[in-house]
Amino acid sequence: MNFFRRIPAFWLILLPLIIPGMLVSIWRCLFRNVAERQNIYVETVVDFEEIRQLAREEGWSLRELFAALRANGASSVAVSEDTLSSLQSEGKITVMSSEEIRKLSIDDSLEYELPAGARTPGALWTHSEDTELLDRIEQHLSWKLPAGRLMRIHRNLLIINKSSQGFRERVGLGFSSDYFRLAHEAGLGLVVRVFNYPGLTAAAAAHIVNAIPSPASVSALLFAEEEMLGVRGELKPIIEQFRGRSYRIGWVEFNTQDGIESYLKGLAATRPFVRVHSITRKEIDLVYNVRRSVARWVRAVKDRSMKMLYIRCFFQDDKRFVEDLVKFNLDYINQTARALAAEGYNIAGNEAQRLHEPRHMVGRMSPFEVLAIGLSLLLGLVILLRVSFFDKLSERWCFVAFVAAVLAFIILPSQQFVAITGLAGAVAYSCLGVIWAMRGLRGCEDSSFFKILPGFVVKMVVPSVFGGLLIAGIYSEIEYLLKFEQFRGIKLAFMLPLLFTGIWALRAYGHGIFSLLHRPVNPVGVFLLSALAAGTLLYLLRSGNVTFLKPSEFEDMFRTFLENTLGARPRNKEFLVGYPAALLFIFFYLRRNFTLLPMLAVLMQMGQVSAVNSLCHFHTPIDLSLLRIFNGLWLGILFGLVGVVVAGILRLLLLVGTDKPKNLLLAGYFGFGNLGDELLWQTFTSRFLADFENYSVTLLHSGRHAVAGMPRFATVSRRDPLSLLEAV
């Protein structure tokens, strides 16, 4: 009972309210981890149009090409709708304009007088010996073009009164079933790509959808180019047509196609989507090589749980001739498959493996689970207020938070309740650790740097990880794990902690930085303010669910190196900014140099916001997120120690050029419990300070026993070499 009497009532009331949410969150995270560990199958999809072009140029047959793709790690092949251009390149049709036809005539005339529509210079004469193919072309174009644009003047000749290059290359004409048969014979899955057409009606779209192979024979359905089927047409009725057909629809990452949001909303009941990662044609041609591409594929699967990789081919390099591009790209696919296997992933080899999605087993949360975790997140705000600005905050506020959580849970829809409590927890717990660590330095002025460091780091990190796990727990439902829904308020979660901690740090240590405002403008001050502004802007642009700045080639290589070396790449804001700033904060605090402390506090806060945010990437495996935080911690401490050494050396160099204070360094065997030695330095110091009023005394001390403070007297620990060098 005496133990509980020593604990403030605030904490005795808080703990029973926060522990249920903590336990539920841990259970949900463990369950999620079990499902994520079973998520091991990846579908590698090769662009058929590109690989067919290479095969034609290099003299490979399609049958041996498909067998080689399968043997080298391709899971499926993506076949696009035929176009006039693709059919002509295969030699299946001949397409000529009216002008080209007349040039073939000796006297620029034709034997038969043609209908008026066929005489226009832009009309296309489409000839094929395969009448079934020409029937298919006519049928598909009749669904898209106005009446009168098509004239079948012969069983082998179709005249199309439209001839732009885009029309030839980007208007879908259905699929050639021969390629499907070859793919299935080779054991490859089939992904079909369908072209949209402006002004498409629901009736025309129904014909197009019915012409697609059955869902049982298709792994996934992708929409070519930048828009979904039905955009700029009767979109809603077209989406309805997919409700009764069990196609998996590809959702390409970082390439938001027009209409995807409407599809996600219209098919929300079943969500027949698969997330696809792709490297664009432009990136392949101008930016990426094989090694960098393979690293990006592995990162997409490992970090973001991508289920389908859409692989485009490399063509001839301007700087280096490749003898056989088919073999070159087969080796590229093989390297990708081997790199994925090295990370524990398997290439999907059959339909069951392609459709394998174990994260569905996570299931829905019960109302009690949502309320319990939501309450724990809201209580983070109460704890933060008590730790920061209101030391005497009453325990009644715990009950206020409880009532607020229950009312919000009853009144608000579940998704809004989760979003609000998640945002509150992200702000509260990321700030809590930083402010708790800074407050813990009070009264530690005489302690050594390395004695303070462990406790400071633990106080800073533990609340962030705790809050991040609470958020991961409340968001552990399938729509978040598959990224159909995301953490809401991400920009606020990045900015509000910086503002809160910045205000607290200015209130605690701001007298030094405010004095800078009264000094004349100088280059150093301008540089510091510019660096802080640029860093904050970069922090915002490189943060959130969508980033406006992409990594450079050097940064990409650095990321790959860290991933290969550490298993999980730590985030730059943690190991290059947050933790080094924490160590520098301790360094300058112990030297009573408060000018830079508010700025360092904001940088520390950036690191903890990043740590919480790592656990808000719900599509990333949770064990990978925790490993990333751990790697950021120890690597950041190493970088911070280097930064402290550099700061100490710079400070020593600056001290060399300044006027020396009148100070006496008293060295001896002091602080080890020898009474004679203690009496010696105490007697000497008191007499010396009395006789020499302009001097101060610094005592070299073991640091084991506290030394009573006196004016013009300080101690330096034997275990703090930087402070000892400064004293010397």
Domain boundaries along the sequence of the chain = 41-81+175-356, 84-170, 422-654, 663-727
**Residue 455, token pair as written in the block:** 């406790």
CA-angle at 615, arms to 610 and 616, nearest 5°: 85
pLDDT band at 117 (very low <50, low <70, confident <90, very high): low
Least reliable range by pLDDT among 133-147, 465-479, 643-657: 643-657
Three state DSSP letters for 551-597: CCHHHHHHHHHHHHHHCCCCCHHHHHHHHHHHHHHHHHHHCCCCCCH
Q: Residue 244's pLDDT is what?
A: 77
Confidence of residue 708 (pLDDT cuts 50, 70, 90): low
Strand-pair partners of 717: 701
Which residues, at least 6 apart from 250, have a Cβ–Cβ distance to it below 8 Å? 191, 220, 221, 222, 223, 273, 274, 276, 308, 310
Residue 441, SS3 per DSSP: coil
Specify which of 353-357, 421-425, 483-487 reaches the highest per-range mean pLDDT: 421-425
Rounded CA separation 726/430 (Å): 35
φ, ψ (nearest 5 deg) of residue 188 = -95, 145
Q: What is the mean pLDDT of the chain?
A: 83
Helices (H), 313-413: 325-342, 351-354, 367-388, 396-411
SS3 664: strand
Tens-digit pLDDT profile for residues 494-512: 999 999 999 999 888 876 5
Going from the C-alpha of 705 to that of each of 90, 672, 673, 719, the distances in angstroms are 89, 8, 8, 14
Q: Residue 428's pLDDT is what?
A: 95
Residues constituting the chain:
728
Identity of the highest mean pLDDT range in 27-36, 355-364, 693-702:
27-36
How crowded is residue 338: how many other Cβ atoms within 10 Å of its Cβ? 13
Instruction: Choose among 149, 96, 102: nearest CA to 127.
Output: 96
Residue range 457-479: mean pLDDT, rounded = 93
Q: Which of 294-303, 436-445, 624-633 has the lowest mean pLDDT?
A: 436-445
Report the topology of domain 41-81+175-356.
TIM Barrel (3.20.20)
Q: Tell me the average pLDDT across 433-450.
A: 83
Higher pLDDT, 588 or 109: 588
Highest mean pLDDT among 397-406, 448-457, 459-468, 669-678: 459-468
Which residues sit opposite 277 in a β-bridge? 309
Going by pLDDT thresholds of 50, 70 and 90, the confidence category of residue 306 is very high
User: Which residue type, as a one-letter code, is found at position 102?
Assistant: R
Distance CA 80, CA 46 (A): 11
Looking at residue 524, its pLDDT comes to: 47
Provide the pLDDT for residue 109.
54
The confidence band for 445, taking pLDDT boundaries of 50, 70 and 90, is low
The confidence score (pLDDT) of residue 678 equals 72
Q: What separation in angstroms does the CA of 52 have from each of 55, 69, 321, 394?
A: 5, 12, 20, 73
- Regarding predicted confidence, which is higher, 74 or 534? 74
Q: What is the DSSP letter of 258?
A: B
Of all residues in the chain, the percent with pLDDT exceeding 90 is: 31
Residue 251 DSSP SS3: strand
Over the range 587-599, which residues count as b (16 or more CB within 10 Å of their CB) and which as e?
A: bbbbeeebebbbb
Whether residue 443 is predicted with pLDDT greater than 90 in this model: the reply is no
Question: Is pLDDT of 518 > 60?
Answer: no
pLDDT for res 115:
60
Report for 35-44, 356-365, 537-546: range of highest mean pLDDT:
35-44
| pLDDT of amino acid 24 | 94
pLDDT value at residue 255? 77
Distance, CA of 557 to CA of 571 (rounded, Å): 14
Cα–Cα dist 114/158, whole Å: 12
Which tokens sit at 239?
């989406």
Q: What are the residues facing 45 on neighbouring strands?
A: 76, 310
Q: Which two tokens stand for residue 97?
A: 């304009």
How far is CA 640 from each of CA 346, 581, 635, 655, rounded to the nearest angstrom? Answer: 39, 7, 8, 22
Q: Which of 64-68, 105-109, 673-677 has the highest mean pLDDT?
A: 64-68
The pLDDT assigned to 382 comes to 92
* Identity of the residue numbered 229: L
- pLDDT digits over 653-695, tens only? 766 655 666 777 777 666 666 666 677 777 777 777 777 777 7
| Three-class secondary structure assignment of 287-326 | CCCHHHHHHHHHHHHHHHCCCEEEECCCCCCCCCCCCCHH
Cβ 639 vs Cβ 632: under 8 Å: no
What does the longest C-alpha to C-alpha distance in the chain come to?
127
Give 35-55 as a 3 state SS string.
Answer: HHHCCCEEEEEEEHHHHHHHH
* C-alpha R_g of the chain: 34
- Percentage of the chain modeled with pLDDT above 70: 82
pLDDT at 246: 81
Residues 6+ away with beta carbon under 8 Å from 253: 275, 276, 277, 278, 300, 304, 306
Q: What is the pLDDT of residue 10?
A: 83
Stated pTM of the model:
0.82
